[in-house]
Copies of this chain bind each other. A is one copy, B any other.
């Protein structure tokens, strides 16, 4: 069987966020391109990530507010009437479909004739073979490649024995009609905490299990303790547990080392994601892989793999699996692929101030340097507490804590970790300040409107400023 051949300057594999930003940069430099994707189109973010999770959190927030409103004079539901989880989930999926469909449509419009639907694998350093969805094969030859192949949920070995029908991931969670009535959330990083809270607020019995000694990526022990106490009020959370999972006829039994147990109908597995790089046969392109399946040589500045004309962006490179980072990395990878296609030298990418947000309401935020990475002797810590913040009291969210880290002596703001209502916005405010090398004292010359959660920052900055010298 012969294959058609198509030759371009740059081939981009993966039409997610990173791939689309790469395509834009390649075109901007006047290079020809193809964008290859096995479908379904619509980006991880729109289909299974940021957007459906935020839709679920929003509906859960509305339910939560409806429950609270009865204490403020809004009439209670009719006696005997039950919340309709199926209707809630239909609303989540309706929003998800809107975002996914729109993203897919925009991808098609933007890529136009440059889009090939199919799966690509390297067959030579400058060629991939694409098994097209229509059954045809096509060889794509390119001077440079962007691998934006994304990632897939990782299933830990201790869950391998559970029947797949009882294992949900974010890939499947938004496809089902109704979430199970009882669910174990395994892994309490951003996704596990967000979905654990959303499901719990929608009336699902949730048990959270995390084998690491922290949750939501928090490294500051005081913020962790506050977040743990806050979220434990909504569903039981077990940290550092060597839990075992046993499938039974009608359910799953979770056993904890202290002999306590939980029974659930299914597990939501949120134990991280694995790069899809293993699916493109990088060795066929002459790139040597390490035992973890990543290129032995990878330059995080240029995103170049093994000295080859291959650039890896987004979730696939295992750096920071965040949508805004994927966009920046995709743009840089596309630009560098175009430069290499023109015989020029790749450039380092723009580095953003680190910002990680868990939309848990109260949100968990890390920005700048992590507490765990700082020398306790070299910093001062400023604290802002929800109990002392008027807006947090209005919102009935006082079980919150902001901790900012500043350099001893100079007072330069280095980072912060926090759990706070509307904390996502405090993260953006602090990222700007950290990027600009602001001191805590200088930041106090800005307006902190009253009553806002930004006053939590003001309190923390005042506290830090008093300790700097």
Contacts and interface: CB of A to CB of B under 8 A. Distances in A.
A446 B352 contact: yes
A450 B76 contact: no
Listed residue (A81, A445, A446) with the most chain B CB atoms within 10 angstroms of its CB: A446
A255 interface: no
Contacts of A450: 45, 50, 322-324, 327
A446 B435 contact: yes
Interface string A63-85: 10110111111111111011111
DSSP class of A's interface residues: helix, strand, loop or mixed?
helix
Given A54-B394, A95-B393, A436-B436, A324 B428 contact: no
A55 B390 CA distance: 10
A350 interface: yes
A87 interface: yes
A85 B73 contact: yes
A187 to B, nearest CB: 21
A70 B393 CA distance: 27
A389 to B, nearest CB: 12
Nearest to A45: B450
A99 B391 CA distance: 11
Given A66-B66, A86-B73, A393 B98 contact: yes
Contacts of A68: 62
A324 B445 contact: no
A51 B90 CA distance: 37
Contacts of A71: 91
Nearest to A323: B450
A118 to B, nearest CB: 28
B428 A448 contact: yes
B324 A99 contact: no
Most-contacted residue by chain B among A58, A354, A445, A451 (CB, 10 A): A451
Nearest to A396: B58
Contacts of A50: 390, 450-451
